[in-house]
Amino acid sequence: MRSKLLSLLPSLLVSLLFFAQGTIAQENTGSKEALLSNMFPTSCSFSGQFSQQKNIEGLPVPLISNGDFFFSCDLGLIWSTDTPFIEAILYANAANSYRINDKGDVTPLTGIARYSMSKIVMKLLNGDTQYFAEEFSIVPSNNADEIKLQPKGSYMKKGIEHILLTVDKRDEQNKSIDFIILDTTGQTTQVAINGIVEHDIEGRRASFEQCEEHYPDTTFWCKILRSPSYLERY
């Protein structure tokens, strides 16, 4: 009996080790999600304004653009730039993203532009804490309203060095979210979101109607979000 117990001991120790590692991993993921939940939006539909600044090597001054946005968990994201040029970026989902110029010409987005928005900004606005907890190392700072996200995956590491996320919730009437993306070339993109208005709506129909109300002069943007196949008739 004793020899049998001794023979079972190594396998029991291995099982306990894997169990402990799994438990620690779950706890780490859970604590990360708890930290992120305090930083990310909690509403499923909201709109606001943004200011974007991109520092590009070789240019003496940063490129600055401003505009507004509409986000819905059910429809997607409209990112509308009004200065220094007029342009809209539509993210219906990870597979369907479009750029629309001031003439109304629609061009599908491809490559890293679509990937970075659909995988980072969309998930950030959607409050997808699980994605960031699993795909990024989270480094808290001395400022409770600021965290650094460092990618774990080899593909993401090829393009992104880190993301610095700052949230200001001191004024409930004027919440703001700032994030800075530093890529592996040293180029930084800083986005400041403010004037956030949460919409108490549910479902695709209500989201579509809210979108049309937000963009009354360009309702076809909302139609594309609702059904990308609309482009075939546009």
Domain housing 218: 38-232
pLDDT of residue 228: 84
Instruction: Please indicate, yes or no, if residue 161 is contained in any of the structural domains.
Output: yes
Instruction: Please indicate, yes or no, if residue 3 is contained in any of the structural domains.
Output: no
pLDDT of residue 18: 38
Token readout for 39 is: 């930083």
Instruction: Please indicate, yes or no, if residue 11 is contained in any of the structural domains.
Output: no
Three-class SS of residue 48? strand
Instruction: Please indicate, yes or no, if residue 9 is contained in any of the structural domains.
Output: no
Locate tokens 């409770």: which residue?
144
CA distance 50 to 37: 22
pLDDT of residue 96: 82
Vertex 66 angle, CA 65 and 69, to 5°: 125
pLDDT of residue 112: 63
pLDDT of residue 220: 94
Instruction: Please indicate, yes or no, if residue 13 is contained in any of the structural domains.
Output: no
Instruction: Please indicate, yes or no, if residue 33 is contained in any of the structural domains.
Output: no
Give the closest residue to 192 by CA, choosing from 163, 211, 167.
Answer: 167
Instruction: Please indicate, yes or no, if residue 7 is contained in any of the structural domains.
Output: no
Three-class SS of residue 223? helix
Nearby residues of 148 by Cβ (< 8 Å), 6 or more positions away? 138, 139, 141, 162, 163, 164, 165
Q: How many domains does the chain have?
A: 1
Instruction: Please indicate, yes or no, if residue 14 is contained in any of the structural domains.
Output: no
CA distance 58 to 187: 10
pLDDT of residue 127: 82
Domain CATH number, residue 169: 2.50.20.10
Residues in the chain: 234
**pLDDT in 10s for each residue of the chain, 234 residues:** 444 433 444 443 333 333 334 433 344 555 667 667 766 677 889 999 999 988 877 777 888 999 999 999 889 999 999 999 899 999 887 678 899 999 999 998 876 656 666 667 788 888 888 888 888 988 877 776 788 899 998 888 888 889 888 887 666 666 788 888 888 888 888 889 888 888 998 889 999 999 999 999 999 999 999 998 887 776
